[in-house]
Amino acid sequence: MPGVIVKELTKRYGEVAAVEGLSLEVKPRELVALLGPSGCGKTTTLRVVAGFLRPEAGEIWVGDRCLSSPSAVVPPERRRMAMIFQSYALWPHMTVAQNVAYGLRFKQEVSRAERERRVREILKVVHLEGFESRYPGELSGGQQQRVAVARSLVVEPEILLLDEPLSNLDANLREEMRFEIRRLHEAFGITTLYVTHDQAEAMVISDRIAVLYRGRLVQIGTAHQLFEQPRTRFVADFIGKTNLIDGVAAAPDRVARGGLSLRVASASLKPGAAVTVSIRPHEIALAPASSPRTPGEGVNVLRGTVQRTSYLGDAIDYQVQVDGSDVVLRVAGPPPAAVRAGQEVTLTLPAAACVPLTDSD
Task: Find the CATH number of the domain harbouring 91.
Answer: 3.40.50.300
Q: pTM, whole model, 2 decimals? A: 0.89
Residues 318 and 288 in one domain: yes
Residues 229 and 87 in one domain: yes
Average pLDDT, the chain: 91
Residues 39 and 158 in one domain: yes
Residues 64 and 112 in one domain: yes
| Cβ–Cβ < 8 Å for 212, 23 | no
The identity of residue 226, as a single letter, is: L
Task: Give which of 302, 295, 293, 290 is closest to 256, Cα–Cα.
Answer: 302
SS3 of the chain: CCCEEEEEEEEEECCEEEEEEEEEEECCCCEEEEECCCCCCHHHHHHHHHCCCCCCEEEEEECCEEEECCCCECCHHHCCEEEECCCCCCCCCCCHHHHHHCHHHHCCCCCHHHHHHHHHHHHHHCCCCCCCCCCHHHCCHHHHHHHHHHHHHHCCCCEEEEECCCCCCCHHHHHHHHHHHHHHHHHHCCEEEEEECCHHHHHHHCCEEEEEECCEEEEEECHHHHHHCCCEHHHHHHCCCCEEEEEEEEECCEEEECCEEEECCCCCCCCCCEEEEEECHHHCEEEECCCCCCCCCCECEEEEEEEEEEECCCCEEEEEEECCCCCEEEEEECCCCCCCCCCEEEEECCHHHCEEECECC
Residues 49 and 127 in one domain: yes
The identity of residue 62, as a single letter, is: V
Q: What is the mean pLDDT of residues 289-293?
A: 66
| Cβ–Cβ < 8 Å for 158, 107 | no
Residues 191 and 221 in one domain: yes
**Of 199, 233, 267, the domain-final residue:** 233
Look at the chain and report how many structural domains it folds into.
Answer: 2
* Residue 220 Cα to chain centre, angstroms: 10
Q: What is the mean pLDDT of residues 30-56?
A: 96
Domain around 290? 241-357
Q: Is the pLDDT of residue 126 over 70?
A: yes
Residues 251 and 140 in one domain: no
Phi, psi for 312 (deg, rounded to 5)? -115, 15
**Of 185, 208, 233, the domain-final residue:** 233
Residue 291 has what pLDDT?
Answer: 59
Residue 171 has what pLDDT?
Answer: 85
Q: Which of 68-72, 105-109, 344-348 has the lowest mean pLDDT?
A: 105-109
**Of 207, 233, 259, the domain-final residue:** 233
Q: What is the mean pLDDT of residues 163-185?
A: 90
Q: What's the rounded Cα separation, in Å, for the pair 159 and 83?
A: 9
Residues 79 and 220 in one domain: yes
Residue 294 has what pLDDT?
Answer: 52
Residues 82 and 196 in one domain: yes
Q: What's the rounded Cα separation, in Å, for the pair 234 and 216?
A: 12
Q: What is the mean pLDDT of residues 103-132?
A: 91
Residue 110 pLDDT level (bands cut at 50, 70, 90): confident
Q: Convert the pLDDT of each residue in 292-316 to its tens digit.
A: 555 445 578 999 999 999 988 888 9
Q: What is the mean pLDDT of residues 322-343?
A: 86
Residues 176 and 250 in one domain: no
Residues 220 and 249 in one domain: no
Residues 254 and 349 in one domain: yes
Which CATH number does the domain housing residue 343 bear? 2.40.50.140
